[in-house]
Structure 1
């Protein structure tokens, strides 16, 4: 099974019918993955911890509304997909085997908006078990690529691995939708796509050195690292495909990718 990186962008995606990324996600099953996975492993930018952690939920996942100052209807959305404790155990097993040591198991945490916003359009029935894996912003890109590499066998077990972040993410430099994206965002977004499509995985791992205006595009790394987990899980010879590209808030890129396994 292929792996994916989804730029989830602004949480207003959950209610704004004008956003192109919303329609991209609604077409998921017809265009990108016609067979339902047995379970989904979501690697979201919005679960950032010092150590690796998985949520292991028996019963439905809670919907975490981890944003502030948005319209009331957004706080009323529920995405109660079942938890995936068996997958959580399998993730822990594979990461330990891969040399990552102890993985924390959280039996209470549900799905943050980096997980449930895209999933509510990809799988609106909310009937596929979902487990979340954290990122570690104090680690580097190679570390997260190797996390994905350790989990690569899940693809053969019917598990869909999705990294959820943003191709560009600088909340201080957002603007109105009608303002064209600034050069720093365009240049980094273009570099990322070209690097992935041409198989320059080492450059992608070391984006902060190789990518133009990388520190402006990603002042903090947590929205970039889910991409590296998904890429690593697809294998060293994975082929990337750009499956969606749009902008919102002037500088927020929704570039999303499929990583096809060799």
Structure 2
């Protein structure tokens, strides 16, 4: 992996929201994602994404040399199914993740040698790192296990930060698709009360309360009828470190979905770092291709940039059609 000397302090939890984020610049969090590198300019050696859209019985990593783009959504504009995020795979990172989990007492870790990136991974990355030239590995969640299980998974993966790996949990702070509100509707009380509790707990570093959210949180079951989109937060929390806290970076609602970012504060003594947690993060980055690269990734980056421009200019009618059904 590149940048082996780089050490990162942050881990992140992002609510990825609707897949149409990549073609809809009217979503409030669009501008947040587009300025991602302004706030986090260090280029990670590789990226590990824990997505709520990959749920397996035991932890599983995708071990591939080139990631395919998975369209694991239905009923969206046709243009959505033409987008590509051709990020290289990170087989060395996958092996390292497996090694760390096994060493920490996780008895079994599977490898998937065919799976690409689901939209919980590629949608935010399409905007954050549009060149698609950073190796990406995915790690599944196991919704048959509990929150503490995933928190301990994150603790096991904490050493990756010192290896320059960007750890992203991608899910949704609230995720009740049966109770989605039309765009422009104020968030429901059951969602705002849950978010108020979650925000307070994270900012104060009360991670045990978050690990036991089913007993502690108001309307826990209403916000998360199934925990798949919440458990990526617990992985990011565990990887951040026991002494970390949180800071809100961005706060907007999208279909009653909330995005979060968590950064580590273990290195506070070095440069006054503090943990960050981001709510309703939808962020989009326009990075210039690396001139020093001698392979063909530069041309692929140009293709991805052109995809963004083309779809943003030509898919407005598609986006408006989606909005009218929300």
2:58 corresponds to: 51
1:23 to 31, 41, 46: 31
1:260 to 249, 259, 264: 264
Question: CA contact under 8 A between 1:57 and 1:84: conserved in structure 2?
Answer: yes
Query: Tell me, what secondary structure is at the counterpart of 2:96?
Result: helix
Q: CA deviation at 1:240?
A: 1.1
Query: Tell me, what secondary structure is at the counterpart of 1:243?
Result: coil
Residue ranges of structure 1 left out of the alignment (5+ in a row): none
2:127 corresponds to: 121
1:39 corresponds to: 46
Question: CA contact under 8 A between 1:43 and 1:163: conserved in structure 2?
Answer: yes
Query: Tell me, what secondary structure is at the counterpart of 1:240?
Result: coil
> What TM-score do the two structures reach when normalised by structure 2?
0.78
> What TM-score do the two structures reach when normalised by structure 1?
0.97
What is the CA–CA distance in structure 2 between the aligned matches of 1:90 and 1:137, rounded to whole Å? 23
Question: CA contact under 8 A between 1:243 and 1:258: conserved in structure 2?
Answer: no
Query: Tell me, what secondary structure is at the counterpart of 1:23?
Result: helix
Q: CA deviation at 1:4?
A: 0.6
1:172 to 169, 178, 183: 178
2:154 corresponds to: 148
Question: CA contact under 8 A between 2:55 and 2:142: conserved in structure 1?
Answer: yes
Q: Does 1:139 align with 2:172?
A: no
Q: CA deviation at 1:22?
A: 2.0
Query: Tell me, what secondary structure is at the counterpart of 2:47?
Result: strand
Alignment of 1:1-262 (within 5 A): 1=8, 2-31=10-39, 33-58=40-65, 60-249=66-255, 251-254=256-259, 256-262=260-266
Residues paired across the two proteins, number: 258
Q: CA deviation at 1:110?
A: 0.1
Farther off after superposition, 11-20 or 212-221: 11-20
Consecutive aligned runs of 4 or more in structure 1 exceeding 4 Å deviation: none
What is the CA–CA distance in structure 2 between the aligned matches of 1:235 and 1:122, rounded to whole Å? 24
What is the CA–CA distance in structure 1 between the aligned matches of 2:20 and 2:222, rounded to whole Å? 23
What is the CA–CA distance in structure 2 between the aligned matches of 1:168 and 1:23, rounded to whole Å? 21
Q: CA deviation at 1:48?
A: 0.4
After superposition, give the CA deviation of every residue in 1:21-68 in whole Å (9 maximum; x if it has no partner): 22211111111x11100000000000001111000111x200000000
Q: CA deviation at 1:202?
A: 0.5
Question: CA contact under 8 A between 2:15 and 2:257: conserved in structure 1?
Answer: no
What is the CA–CA distance in structure 2 between the aligned matches of 1:252 and 1:6, rounded to whole Å? 10
CA-atom RMSD in angstroms: 0.8
Structure having the higher strand fraction is 1
Q: CA deviation at 1:238?
A: 1.2
Query: Tell me, what secondary structure is at the counterpart of 1:196?
Result: helix
Question: CA contact under 8 A between 2:240 and 2:262: conserved in structure 1?
Answer: no
Query: Tell me, what secondary structure is at the counterpart of 2:248?
Result: strand
Query: Tell me, what secondary structure is at the counterpart of 2:192?
Result: helix
What is the CA–CA distance in structure 2 between the aligned matches of 1:72 and 1:190, rounded to whole Å? 37
Larger Rg: 1 or 2? 2
Q: CA deviation at 1:235?
A: 0.9
After superposition, give the CA deviation of every residue in 1:148-186 in whole Å (9 maximum; x if it has no partner): 000100000000000000010000000211110000011
What is the CA–CA distance in structure 1 between the aligned matches of 2:202 and 2:263, rounded to whole Å? 9
What is the CA–CA distance in structure 2 between the aligned matches of 1:142 and 1:104, rounded to whole Å? 20
Query: Tell me, what secondary structure is at the counterpart of 2:134?
Result: coil
